[in-house]
Structure 1
Amino acid sequence: METEPIQVAVVDDHTLFRNGVAALLNELDDIKVIFEAGNGLQMQQQIANGLLPQVILMDINMPVKNGYESARWVAENHPQIKVLALSMFEDDEAVIQMIRNGAKGYLLKESKPRELQEAIRTVHQKGIYLNEMVSGKLLRSVHQEGFAPALTEREIDFLKLCCSELTYKEIADKMFVSPRTVDNYRDALFQKLNIKSRTGLVLYAIQNNIFKIGKM
């Protein structure tokens, strides 16, 4: 029995790149691009016209309505749609912002076509896709039922603050502790959760309802 192809939208303000990605994906049997958009506002208009993709490939830096705003709009209005960020930015801030605003995965534009295809399939089937941005151990742990390592109240407070744009020094000031103590919280969580980056901590907090999008 043949399955229906994954309905995909490509939202990017660079026309040649957007067209190229759409053409690539339309060559695949199990993926179909149902619309393209040059920014978040155009995306909203397409969805309002009844075109509901299952996965949206979304750039971050776009005019009119950027990727952060657009991902949040999708999360609030169509939570069943999975947003997969496709960006040139690989810094922690960009990844954290997109995850905070509802993106379910993050991929660099320099990725190979095969990785893009796999990312779309994975985020559609499992609800989440992150490659080198977050350790594979984290991805396994957030999907494992009953995974709940013992965290102290202060570690939970620190986790919540990690989901903000505060620096570690500013987090220390907020918690009324020294920067060294904050480093200890971070290192302890890295070890407990098998995570290697602040991005990983943010994703863990979101996936385990320690931090809720839109509450900070």
Structure 2
Amino acid sequence: MENKEIRIAVVDDHTLFRQGISSLLSENEEIKIMFDASNGAVMKEKISKYPLPDVVLMDITMPLVNGYEATAWLKQNYPSVRVLALSMFEDDEPIIKMLKCGAGGYVLKESNASDLMYAIKTIAQHNYFLNDLVSGKLLRSIQDEVKTPDPVAGLTANEIRFLELCCSELTYKEIAGNMCLSPHTIDNYRDALFQKFDLKSRTGLVIFALKHNIAKF
């Protein structure tokens, strides 16, 4: 999307934050703010009244229609719109849930302007924004569209099943029970995959599984 304006919508229930982000982004000539909304319900009302945004900055916790529901609705009704989740905390659970609902990445609300712009440009161009939770190697392979050997080909059936279950709401202990394995064995799978793919968290495993069609939502 080089040399093209990126159309943005901001959905957040905190008025000062929403207006501040909109004002900040509107100063960039590469960005055009289409509209802002205080929750997913207002977003649904407004989205058909404006040119379709390329990227929606989506808060997670909102009244009436929260970020999960609004993201899933966008995925179903406007699949071309990318969703960049806005998060107060770097917790696995809400991030994983947003990814499962259709978000292509997330940024912390405390991020500086340059990091936010980078995230917006990346997700607008490549559909996903992957941060420090996944490896730079994976990020570069996606952004540069480099043909690399299929990393899934070297995984065992149990490793693939483990990755599938990582995309669920099960704890690692519950995953062990589901696979009829000991928690220690599951920990070994997790640590081996962290090392093999240079990942740092369960969120990284989920993004890897989604990107390589190991799990679909």
Q: TM-score range by the shorter chain?
A: over 0.9
Counterparts in 2 of 1:140 and 1:3: CA distance versus 1, 3 Å: closer
Contact kept? 1:35, 1:51, Cα under 8 Å: no
| Cα deviation code 1:86-132 (max 9, x no counterpart) | 12021111211111111111100000011111111111112211222
Counterparts in 2 of 1:206 and 1:13: CA distance versus 1, 3 Å: same
User: 1:147 Cα shift?
Assistant: 3.5
Unaligned 5+ runs, structure 1: none
TM-score, normalised to structure 1, is: 0.93
1:171 and 2:156 correspond? no
Q: Structure 1 CA distance, aligned partners of 2:146 and 2:191? A: 23
Aligned pair count reads 212
1:74 and 2:74 correspond? yes
Please name the residue that 1:123 is paired with. 123
Q: Structure 2 CA distance, aligned partners of 1:200 and 1:15? A: 32
Contact kept? 1:54, 1:124, Cα under 8 Å: yes
Q: Structure 1 CA distance, aligned partners of 2:4 and 2:193? A: 41
Contact kept? 2:54, 2:82, Cα under 8 Å: yes
- What amino acid maps onto 2:131 in structure 1? N
Contact kept? 1:141, 1:147, Cα under 8 Å: no
User: 1:50 Cα shift?
Assistant: 4.5
1:113 and 2:113 correspond? yes
Counterparts in 2 of 1:47 and 1:147: CA distance versus 1, 3 Å: farther
Structural RMSD (CA): 1.5
Q: Percent identity?
A: 57
Query: 4+ residue stretches of structure 1 with deviation over 6 A?
Result: none
SS at match of 2:184: helix
Unaligned 5+ runs, structure 2: none
Q: Structure 2 CA distance, aligned partners of 1:146 and 1:76? A: 31
